[in-house]
Chain A
Amino acid sequence: MEKILSKNFFNPEARKIEVYLRDGGYEAARKALSEMTPESVIQEVTESSLRGLGGAGFPTGRKWGFIPKDSPKPKYLIINSDESEPGTFKDRHILEWDPHTLVEGVIIASYAIGAHQVYVYTRGEYYHYANILQEAVKEAYAKGLLGKNIFGSGFDLELIIHLGAGAYICGEETALLESLEGKRGWPRLKPPFPAISGFLGCPTVVNNTETIAYVPSIIRNGGEWFAALGTPRNGGMRLYSVSGHVKRPGVYELPLGTPLREIIYQHAGGMRSDRKLRAVIPGGSSSPVLTAAEIDVKMDFDSLAAVGSMLGSAGVIVMDEGTCLLKALTILSKFYQHESCGQCTPCREGTGWMTRILNRSLTGDGVQGDLENLLRIAGNIIGNTICPLGDAAVLPVQSFIKKFREEFESHLQHGKCLAVA
């Protein structure tokens, strides 16, 4: 299978603009700006079945179509490079190894929605990677690919890199907008959606880094070509981040719909020390866990939803038979407690309660009824919060207890884990 985004990974030459141009780089942007209307760009992306790769999987062409054409306000494109979902590290690879593909995607997407200003919101920890992108942006300006009158089309575009300062919640698009406005990252109530009222109240599209990086290939080869690489309604390829107990952790670019088993055992080299697989989180820390018996699932948005999980950010976290699953869940719960912005009571208090109960069970101080209590608290959070972080905190708790109840009960009964050798 031919690679699209990952073909340049680990080749430091490829991030230079001369090399990128020699390989046909920026031809898709030229084509879009000089031969296509914004509407036909959106049409092509819609046909590609490209879906948001930040986690929610919303169809990208449709999202762009929501931007009102007649608004007198400036329109903004915001690239989400906050990448903080545990288990996810693909956007970092794009920033590090293929920054020009992202810049080219930005040009095309901005043209499609009529934005003349773009901010790339990068997590603060990615300081060096943001500098690599900055270098690419500088090269693009020097060649007239950013700035005024790009390709003589009359289209102007400014690209600004904006570093965050450490907060998972700022990956959520409305928290990101608040943060970009210089405030705390407190998610906003929706509606209004960003397409109507986003950055500074203006029409805004927020897209993930990887989503935008696939756009040049779609314009170059056509939406139909991209769609055919994946499964129906789940177009193309994506970057799967694989970590945990596998022989070869890393980023693997594969078609949507690739079986999870193939990703773990073929691409990531199988289990470390050839131990048995116990559990897999398929789509970043927020997605419900799967058992070893469930790994024949196809890794696309619809197939994972059908088995009660989520493709999310495609961060595959692999756990072997020696893993204490109660400990794994406690770590996740603590993470969500720590990252809750504190705005909604069920999320702020509930994540704290769940973490405390899990912690005491872990250390052998659990009491009868703890599992029921956890599920009760989880039930009080889910659906009752402003943003999806509340649900994200609950889904691991519900799925771990449902699928590994015996192990949890044994841990509670013995005051320790019997799985860990």
Chain B
Amino acid sequence: MSLEVLSEKMLSEISEILARYPQQRAALLPILNACQREYGFISQRTEEAVAELLGIPVIEIRETISFYSLLRRKPAGKYHLQFCTNISCSLLGAEESVASACRQLGIHEGDTTQDNRFTITTVECLGACDMSPSLQVNDDYHANMTSDKVLELIDKLKDER
């Protein structure tokens, strides 16, 4: 039994999700999204529990996870800085703020700081080209990023506990 890795709260959320779909498998993405929201990432034990719950092979769950860019099998930092570097943001200088953020935190794009507080990634269009260059920190959008603004933001987040 691997279901015990899922908390009572998680299991009841999962049964609510399952009720919204005519077929169990259709609930997979919402369930994985919910697990990631709760645990920060999708561990192997979570994969196994979800596989058991839905009666599908673990490998298919992993395949699904690897297809979707928002799902991750490793934790990210407390603040996940997702810089859009697609066309409209790049036209307005997105690369500069990415470089500044990396320099400030002393990490490369794709990495997480040692204290696990910040992760930096570059992403495709966020559907926010009216705010270009745009940045998403976890679920929150930030508009018109410049080097100065991103450094200010990082300082502010550093102070937050």
- Residues of A bordering B, CB below 8 Å: 74, 83-89, 91-92, 117, 123-128, 160, 162-168, 179-185, 200, 241-245, 249-251, 281, 285, 315, 317, 319, 323, 327-328, 331-332, 335, 338-339, 341
Contact = CB atoms under 8 A, between A and B. Distances in A.
A313 B111 CA distance: 34
B71 A166 contact: yes
A179 B29 contact: yes
A361 to B, nearest CB: 17
Contact of B33 (A74, A163, A332): A163
Interface size for chain B: under 10, 10 to 19, 20 to 34, or 35 or more residues? 35 or more
Contact of A89 (B32, B124, B129): B129
Contacts, number: 136
A165 B33 contact: yes
B34 to A, nearest CB: 10
A268 to B, nearest CB: 10
A288 to B, nearest CB: 14
A249 B132 contact: yes
Given A162-B29, A200-B26, A128 B140 contact: yes
B88 A243 contact: yes
Given A86-B129, A335-B86, 16 more contacts: A88-B125, A124-B33, A125-B139, A127-B139, A128-B140, A164-B70, A180-B29, A182-B28, A183-B28, A200-B23, A200-B26, A242-B130, A243-B132, A244-B87, A285-B125, A315-B129
B57 to A, nearest CB: 13
A89 B143 CA distance: 13
5 contacts: A86-B86, A165-B32, A165-B71, A181-B26, A317-B129
A254 B140 CA distance: 29
Contact of B88 (A160, A200, A317): A317
Interface stretch (B61-69, B98-106, B150-158): B61-69
B23 A167 contact: no
B84 to A, nearest CB: 9
A339 B33 CA distance: 20
B147 interface: no
A176 B97 CA distance: 33
A243 B29 contact: no
B140 A184 contact: no
A83 B129 CA distance: 12
Contacts of A179: 29
Contacts of B87: 86-87, 244, 281, 285, 317, 328, 331-332, 335
B49 to A, nearest CB: 16
A335 B124 contact: yes
Which residue of A85, A123, A124, A285 has the most chain B CB atoms within 10 A of its CB atom?
A124
Interface in B8-31: 20-23, 25-30
A89 B127 contact: yes
Nearest to B124: A335
B91 A87 contact: no
B107 interface: no
Contacts of A241: 129-130
Nearest to B66: A184
B6 interface: no
Which residue of B33, B63, B136, B140 has the most chain A CB atoms within 10 A of its CB atom?
B33
B68 A166 contact: yes
B55 to A, nearest CB: 12
Contacts of B85: 331
B127 A92 contact: yes
B58 interface: no
Given A85-B125, A339-B124, A185 B23 contact: no
A125 B26 contact: no
A160 B125 CA distance: 25
B140 to A, nearest CB: 7
B90 interface: yes
B86 A331 contact: yes
A160 B130 contact: no
Contacts of B90: 327-328, 331
Contacts of A285: 86-87, 125
Contacts of B68: 124, 164-167
B145 to A, nearest CB: 14
A123 B129 CA distance: 15
Given A86-B88, A87-B87, A184-B67, A126 B127 contact: yes
B33 A168 contact: no
Interface string B128-147: 11101000100111000000
Contacts of B67: 167, 184-185, 341
Given A182-B27, A244-B91, A125 B129 contact: no
B30 A125 contact: no
Contacts of A185: 67
A83 B127 contact: yes
Nearest to B88: A243
B134 to A, nearest CB: 9
Contacts of B126: 125
